[in-house]
Chain A
Amino acid sequence: MNFKLIGINHNSAPLEVRERLSVPEARLPEAVRYLVEQPGVEEGMVLSTCNRVEVLTTVRQEADLRKFFPGYFGVSQDSLDGHWYEFEQRDAVRHVFRVASSLDSMVVGEPQILGQVKEAYAVARGIGAVHSALDALLSRAFAVAKRVRSETAVGSSSISISAVAVQLAEKIFGSLQGRTVFLVGAGKMAELAARHLTANGAARLLVCNRTHERAVRLAEIFGGEAIPYERLYETAECADIVLTSTGAPDPIFRREHGEMLLSRRRNRPMFFVDIAVPRNVHPDVNKLDGMFVYDVDDLQLVADSNSAERRKEAQRAEQIVETEVERFAARMKSLHVVPTILSLQEYCETIRQAEIDRIRGRLGKISPEQEAAIEAMTRGIINKLLHTPITTLKSTAASPEAATIEDVIRRIFNLEPKNLDSKSGNSGRKKTED
């Protein structure tokens, strides 16, 4: 099969180029239809996300996928030169495996890309643009992505400040379900963090700000409760997670507050996420048993550490992808001999049927049992005779002499010459323009 992929992504093209090539979800079927109408394209799929637009195809020799982008999007080819990349055969397979496994993503390991590839596959399959070789490739890509996710920790750690706060809260409380979050300060950062915490299941949101109106506004956004600033400390004891982001010049939570809160909470742990500069929570609070204080630098440190961990895991994932590419290529190579095997079986079956018909008249009346015995015997002879040629074809399919053996068998059995279009070309990366 001739796999061919062409596309642009966050590495090869700036946003102003990518946004001109974006395909809205509603227009995806139309784009796929346009793709498979291109000369030489047998199967096709279009993947369009915020960071990439790619077309994946199986093609005949004459296909020129570069015409797809100018033709469909109405942009000049010159404006795309130097921004796109093109992969063929084994390199195309590798790229698809890497994309589905989130190894080619802007944030390596992010989980959305697999869902986006699956959606693109479903659309293309739904309109019949993916049916045989691409179907096999994409099914394998999903299996590889699953393997990468289960055998490596490439997507398990958080690398944004807000996500790290959620991850740490889960390390303390197990889950955010049923937990109370107290926002002290109502700025943009607090809003962003609150969005993450509530999206992960926090049950109750309390907001406190010196300017009460801002607290009310933020509480309304998340369906929370605005608290007057005078009730700061008495409200804090109800909170499991306190997120501080005020512009106060001195810490508003000090050691004595921590001790008071612990006592009132009967030593239940508390998590302070202090994203204010200067800090709103004194570092001494972290020294108390059951009190966990993370400031901006601490959160960044965890995020950096997670990023390093992801890079390490990504290397392991690349090895898995490489192994799977080899396996898939071997499987694809063995598919070349399938038409010869089918022709051989068909040829022998025709002879078998003709011979049975020829002697049936001579045998006179035979019982159904005798007929079945003749069928079984002749089939057995055919199967035994074909066993060696078929196993030889299969076992040598990936070797250099495969074409010679296939040709010899075709000549010996006088089979039709094989259609050259079904042969795969040499594997390897043909051209990369970025």
Chain B
Amino acid sequence: MPLFWLRVALTLYGIGLLGAVMSLWTNRSTLTRVMLGAAGSGMVFHFVSLTEIVMLSDTAALSSLHQIESFLAFLLMTFFLVIYGVYKTVSPGIAVFPLVFLLTLSAQTSALSNDASASQVSNSWVNMHVGLILIGYSALIFSFFASILYLIQEKNLKAKGKKSGVWSRLPALATIDEIGYRCLVFGFPFMTFGLISGSVLAEARFGPGFFRDPTILSAIVMWVLYTILLYARWSAGWRGKRAAYMAACAFCTALVVLAANGLSSVHRFVSP
């Protein structure tokens, strides 16, 4: 059943994606309502799917790549709706819907059951570690999206009345900046405690040698970049290109962390 609910959610996210793409060319409030309705109802089915996985699972619920994709998609959609609730903007939807759709599509291609061999360490520790890290990732992804939107809006304003086409309906620069900054601030403690909990887990199982692992090393690099970005924005008010490049670096490092799982001996996803 979790797979069935996930596929229902996928269909609804697909409708939301269509609405997001179509709303680029037209300013119809109907499309916004369709997009938000699809996102909201998709999340309900997605939540049911995730809950069933946790309840049916004997092992850590978030230990396979597909489950992580599914949970990350759910978190991104939650961020999107919260941001809409606060700022009344659907602009991030054009980036969020494709990403959520692809993550959910990938997640549903495989059965969501767990491999029993995953039960190597405490399930609740693994779930907590992965959950915290994914909330931090979601915040970082949104901050990155906001940086891109900031650059586009800045370019629009500097273009001085020349046609900005589909991007003319972006929110105000100050609003985009605030979304990016608040996402960063919100995600930082989650990312930090996620890494700490992961370190505790790894040390318990592998001893101090886990530090030489590529996944762990790249995760630390990502955390350092995240910290520098947050500090630069807080102390020097970094915005625009510099903030966008820094967020892009942190985001790319986050992708490297995911890719490095393939090379890691201590941090591997369970095969689906």
Contact = CB atoms under 8 A, between A and B. Distances in A.
Partners in one complex: yes
Interface of A: 150-151, 153, 168, 170-175, 265-269, 286, 289-290, 292, 294, 298, 301-302, 304-305
B212 interface: no
A150 B153 CA distance: 24
A265 B154 CA distance: 18
B160 A301 contact: yes
Interface stretch (B103-111, B217-225, B237-245): B237-245
Nearest to A271: B157
A174 to B, nearest CB: 4
B22 to A, nearest CB: 15
B158 A292 contact: yes
A151 B162 CA distance: 24
A171 B173 contact: yes
B174 interface: yes
Contacts of B153: 171
21 contacts: A168-B157, A170-B172, A171-B157, A172-B173, A174-B172, A174-B174, A174-B175, A265-B237, A267-B236, A267-B238, A269-B239, A289-B241, A290-B240, A292-B158, A298-B161, A301-B160, A301-B161, A302-B160, A302-B161, A304-B161, A305-B163
A249 to B, nearest CB: 24
B120 interface: no
Given A171-B153, A174-B172, A305-B162, 4 more contacts: A172-B157, A267-B240, A289-B240, A298-B160
Given A290-B239, A292-B157, A301-B160, A171 B172 contact: yes
B225 to A, nearest CB: 19
Nearest to B172: A174
Contacts of B175: 174
B29 interface: yes
Contacts of B239: 267, 269, 289-290
Interface string B12-54: 0000000000000001110000000000000000000000000
Contacts of B171: 174
Contact of A153 (B27, B172, B237, B241): B27
Contacts of A267: 236-240
Contacts of B174: 172-174, 269
Given A171-B172, A301-B161, A305-B161, A266 B240 contact: no
A182 to B, nearest CB: 18
Nearest to B154: A289
B172 A286 contact: no
A298 B162 CA distance: 10
Contacts of B158: 286, 292
Contacts of A268: 237
A206 to B, nearest CB: 20
A240 to B, nearest CB: 9
A406 to B, nearest CB: 40
Interface string B141-181: 00000000000011001101111000000011111000000
Contacts of B172: 170-175
Given A172-B172, A298-B160, A266 B236 contact: yes
A76 to B, nearest CB: 49
Contacts of B162: 301, 305
Contacts of A151: 28
A265 B27 CA distance: 36
B185 to A, nearest CB: 16
A305 B159 CA distance: 13
Interface in B223-256: 236-242
Nearest to A151: B28
A368 B237 CA distance: 85
The 8 A-B pairs at the shortest CB distance, nearest first, are namely: A266-B237, A174-B172, A302-B161, A267-B237, A301-B161, A289-B240, A298-B160, A174-B174
Nearest to A150: B29
A23 B242 CA distance: 60
Given A267-B238, A298-B161, A173 B173 contact: yes
A265 B237 CA distance: 9
B249 to A, nearest CB: 18
Nearest to B177: A269
A145 B213 CA distance: 66
A292 B159 CA distance: 10
A266 B181 CA distance: 15
Nearest to A304: B161
A21 B230 CA distance: 66
Contacts of B236: 266-267
A305 B160 CA distance: 10
Looking at B163, B237, B238, the one whose CB has the most chain A CB atoms below 10 A away is: B237
Nearest to B158: A286
A257 B157 CA distance: 20
Contacts of A153: 27
Nearest to A170: B172
B19 to A, nearest CB: 17
Contacts of A174: 171-175
Nearest to A152: B27
A298 B160 CA distance: 6
B160 A269 contact: no
A170 B170 CA distance: 12
A115 B158 CA distance: 36
A181 to B, nearest CB: 16
Nearest to B156: A171
Nearest to B173: A172
Contacts of A304: 161
Nearest to A305: B161
Interface in B56-98: none
Contacts of A305: 161-163
A135 B233 CA distance: 59
Contacts of B157: 168, 171-172, 292
A151 B26 CA distance: 10
B177 to A, nearest CB: 8
Contacts of B237: 265-268
